[in-house]
Amino acid sequence: MLEGLLIGLSTAFSVTNLAMVIGGCLIGTFIGMLPGLGPMSIIAIMIPVAITLGDPSAALILLAGVYYGAIFGGSTSSILLNAPGVAGTVASSFDGYPMARAGMAGKALTIAAISSFLGGTIGALLLMVFAPMLSTVALLFHSAEYFALMVVGLSAIAAFAGTGNVAKAVLMTLLGLIMATVGEGALFNMPRFTMGLMDLQSGFSFITLAMAMFALPEALFLVLNPARVTQGGEGGGKITGLRISRDEARKIAPVIGRQSVQGFFIGVLPGAGATIASFLGYAVERNIATEAEQKEFGKGSIKGLAAPETANNAACTGSFVPLLTLGIPGSGTTAILLGALIALNVTPGPRLMLDSPEIFWAVIASMFIGNLVLLILNLPLIPYIAKVLSIPRNYLIPFILFFTLMGSYIGQNNATELLILVGFGICATILRFADYPLAPLLIGFILGRMLEDNFSRSMQLYDGAGFILERPMTLGLLVIAALLVVIPSYRARRARARKTGVADGD
């Protein structure tokens, strides 16, 4: 492991890669602070840049830096404006914003930065330990188990994304899978579902789809309802008193310890991710706090700020485990990273650590560096970076739209792609109106090819669908996948039945 880390450090400490980490963190912080732009949109916008770099390590380092930066930037706008730019930092605004209102914005930011730093660093340490272990196990998997694992991942994502509405999330996943079958696959050497159109020969472009699913609807929502996110002028003001006392440090230390471990493992689960980790972290800490401290929660408790901040960063790191060891993304963000890696000819999975250890370890090393950069570089710069919050919306929105256009144009060098982008963007916006989750669609689209490849390979090996019954692990995983989809709606049904029962009694 130490040897690997040394390889990683030597890769990550090259001048270009250091510049990538620092640049990525800064860009991520800048954009993540803007209300309405989540890490998924930001990474989608940055992908064309990363792909043109050509070097997979550098690209992944850049994108990972952007990811941490975005989460950090999101916390900043949560704390300063009560306007979380990212869903994962909503819980940070519960206590961070009251602190800022009470004139302790500087202290709140410091706590956020330190908790993020420790959460991310401890998460990276855990990743270093668990990822190699998991990938040794994963090397024993056959394509049948891979197929089943991907099905489990997809149904877990659907079950989490569509709380109360699993059918919608499942439908979106299937739509993504269907879209992935369009075009000429490597497996059969024949175009499928292209309807004779040359433009569809190579399938839909993943960058265009990512832009259309996330960045474009977000921007349109900002236009449609400017009141949705309050944009205050206080962000650019004075932020003073960045120091925290020893007493406060002693108070948040155990919180950070617990939440970084808990957040990490929640992040590892497919579909859970930073948002759930931060809310759960907040809830757990409130429940185990002493009664006097419990009263402070929601009114500016430093524990209530440290918990979600630690948990969301640890979860971000945790979500890299399934990506790097199994090649299965557990969240929209890691799905986009996976797409970028595939575009760079790297297939993440258990072989990654054997075939190109420098990529794996460079990413881990960059996590340490990235967290350090966020702490050392961003924290003192926050008062200046926060000025970005005062950019007028009239300028901001055309620029966001322009960057989505540029992103999909650079990827394909084809103006028709831009029209496809607009078309998909409109569809995605309408889907969001009706509360259909979009992340499952993109994840389905990205996993589609691999899912079909593994499915076909096992069909060929077993001369039919017999592999499902002959391999107990495959069967078990598929049963889990089915349960994940069925149980939530069954429980909702039962809860409703109980509720109506109570109403009858009245």
Partner 1 sequence: MALDRWIALIILGIALAYGYGAFFTMDQLLPPFMQRNPIWPSTFPKVLAVLAIVTSLVIVLGLEKSDGEAKTPDIDYRRLGDYHIGKALSLLGLMALYAVMLRPAGFLLSTIGFLSIGAIILGERKLWILLPVAAVATGIVWYLVEGVLGIFLRPLPFFMG
Q: What share of the chain is helix, strand, coil (3-state, %, to 5)?
A: 80, 0, 20
Task: Choose one: 99-107, 109-117, 136-144, 453-461; the region binding partner 1 (CB under 8 A).
Answer: 453-461
For partner 1, the binding residue among 202, 464, 476, 487 (CB under 8 A) is 464
Is 422 a residue that touches partner 1 (CB under 8 A)? yes
- Return the number of the residue (123 or 411) whose C-beta is nearest partner 1: 411
Is 215 a residue that touches partner 1 (CB under 8 A)? no
- Return the number of the residue (9 or 406) whose C-beta is nearest partner 1: 406
The alpha helices in 319-414, defined as continuous H runs, are 320-326, 332-343, 352-355, 357-373, 379-385, 393-412
- Return the number of the residue (100 or 182) whose C-beta is nearest partner 1: 182
Phi, psi dihedral angles at 184 (to 5 degrees): -95, 110
Q: What is the rounded CA–CA span in Å between residue 275 and residue 407?
A: 27
Is 418 a residue that touches partner 1 (CB under 8 A)? yes
Is 228 a residue that touches partner 1 (CB under 8 A)? yes
Is 436 a residue that touches partner 1 (CB under 8 A)? yes
- Under 8 Å between Cβ of 328 and 149: yes
- Return the number of the residue (392 or 472) whose C-beta is nearest partner 1: 392
Q: Is 462 exposed, middle or buried (0-12, 13-18, 19+ CB in 10 A)?
A: middle
For partner 1, the binding residue among 196, 246, 292, 392 (CB under 8 A) is 392
Task: Choose one: 263-271, 312-320, 420-428, 468-476; the region binding partner 1 (CB under 8 A).
Answer: 420-428
Is 393 a residue that touches partner 1 (CB under 8 A)? yes
Is 468 a residue that touches partner 1 (CB under 8 A)? no
Is 415 a residue that touches partner 1 (CB under 8 A)? yes
Burial code (b: 16+ CB inside 10 Å, e: under 16) for 256-288 equals bebbbbbbbbbbbbbbbbbbbbbbbbbebbbee
Q: Which residue do the tokens 């949705």 mark?
A: 228
Is 249 a residue that touches partner 1 (CB under 8 A)? no
Is 186 a residue that touches partner 1 (CB under 8 A)? no
User: Could you say which residues in the range 327-346 bind partner 1, by CB under 8 A?
Assistant: none
- Under 8 Å between Cβ of 469 and 361: no
Task: Choose one: 116-124, 254-262, 336-344, 410-418; the region binding partner 1 (CB under 8 A).
Answer: 410-418
For partner 1, the binding residue among 12, 99, 105, 220 (CB under 8 A) is 220
Is 433 a residue that touches partner 1 (CB under 8 A)? yes
Is 475 a residue that touches partner 1 (CB under 8 A)? no
Q: What is the rounded CA–CA span in Å between residue 7 and residue 441?
A: 36
Q: How far is the CB of 282 from partner 1 (least distance, A)?
A: 20
For partner 1, the binding residue among 1, 188, 298, 469 (CB under 8 A) is 188
Phi, psi dihedral angles at 191 (to 5 degrees): -70, 140
The alpha helices in 240-356, defined as continuous H runs, are 246-268, 273-288, 291-296, 302-318, 320-326, 332-343, 352-355
For partner 1, the binding residue among 253, 384, 495, 498 (CB under 8 A) is 495
* Secondary structure in 3-state letters for 55-81: CHHHHHHHHHHHHHHHHHHHHHHHHHH
For partner 1, the binding residue among 405, 468, 480, 483 (CB under 8 A) is 405
User: Could you say which residues in the range 111-170 bind partner 1, by CB under 8 A?
Assistant: 164-168, 170
Structure token pair of residue 489? 């709606």
**Number of alpha carbons in the 13 Å side-chain half-sphere of residue 308:** 34
Other CB atoms within 10 A of residue 343 CB: 18
- Return the number of the residue (115 or 412) whose C-beta is nearest partner 1: 412
Torsion of Cα atoms, 39 then 43 then 45 then 50, to 10°:
160
Is 226 a residue that touches partner 1 (CB under 8 A)? yes
Task: Choose one: 83-91, 183-191, 342-350, 376-384; the region binding partner 1 (CB under 8 A).
Answer: 183-191
- Return the number of the residue (397 or 473) whose C-beta is nearest partner 1: 397
Q: What is the rounded CA–CA span in Å between residue 404 and residue 216?
A: 7
User: Could you say which residues in the range 43-82 bind partner 1, by CB under 8 A?
Assistant: 48-49, 52
Q: What is the rounded CA–CA span in Å between residue 75 and residue 77?
A: 6
